[in-house]
Structure 1
Amino acid sequence: MKLGAVNHIALTVSDMNRSEVFYNALLGFLGYQQEEKTDQLILWASNNGVITISPANPESPNKNHDRYSVGLHHLAFSADNREQVNSLHQFLVERGVKILDPPAEYSYLPGYYAVYFLDPDGIKLELTHTPNWPPESS
């Protein structure tokens, strides 16, 4: 591990069964495997890290994620090329996933190419290919 590398991402969800189906498909496409499952946690792992989901507090007044409130705005995964972004887009469309923005080049960085979509609780997710990023360290 490198100092500062993200170790894991933990998300809370309103419906564990519904989210398990969604994340099994998405994370399987991205090369993750489900490694652990209990009533309170489902964990997927790959060489790129760990993603977990846990049930949200049923007493919480928020029933859907609001990315403009304090907390997570969105979660972006990396792609090796534009074809992977396009393939994931097609994969998501076939499953009826809500697409926010289809694959396109965005002006964040030169060559930034991404698709944006929502998980079942409205958490914004992204797959992006950014050539020459991160820059090579000297």
Structure 2
Amino acid sequence: MLDHVSVQCDDLGAAREFYETVLGPLGITVSMDFGDVLGMSGADGVPKFWLGKQTTGGAQREIHLAFTAANRSLVDTVHRAAKKLGAEVLHEPKEWPEYHPGYYAVFMRDPDGNNVEVVSHS
């Protein structure tokens, strides 16, 4: 549904470390680096998730980002990566049947306080 998402960050270096660490297991990497703007891509190489330095507005408001994992094992791998990084884990990996059967997800905070989810729909 979405073509791409861009998030402004207070500390781009910290955001890059967080997203490279927790999304790496999903095959998502930085594919474009313009210094103050980073494009991250999956296997197709097309940047769909962008990080940039905070340039407009005041204090950020929390946003929610959800990334798809192919299976539960990858959700668990992301969880371990987030914990190793010292990221705040909001919800440990578990099934959320109130969303739908098979909805298995972990929720964590990025360095800017955003709610980041990695979910498998298996």
Question: Does TM, scored on the shorter chain, surpass 0.5?
Answer: yes
As a proportion of its length, which structure holds more helix? 2
Structure 1 contact 27–44 (Cα < 8 Å) conserved: no
| Structure-1 separation of matches of 2:35 and 2:43 | 25
| Structure-2 separation of matches of 1:86 and 1:26 | 11
Identical-residue share of aligned pairs (%): 28
Which segments of 5 or more consecutive residues in structure 2 lack a partner in the other structure? none
Radius of gyration: which is bigger? 1
Paired positions, count: 119
Q: Once superposed, what is the RMSD of the aligned Cα atoms?
A: 1.8
| Structure-2 separation of matches of 1:78 and 1:14 | 25
| Structure-1 separation of matches of 2:31 and 2:70 | 24
Greater RCO, CA 8 A, separation 6+: 2
Regions of 4+ moved over 6 Å: none
- Normalized against structure 1, the TM-score is what? 0.77
Cα deviation code 1:14-60 (max 9, x no counterpart): 01121122222223222122122123311111236521111112x74
Which segments of 5 or more consecutive residues in structure 1 lack a partner in the other structure? 68-72, 132-138
| Structure-1 separation of matches of 2:105 and 2:86 | 18
- Normalized against structure 2, the TM-score is what? 0.86
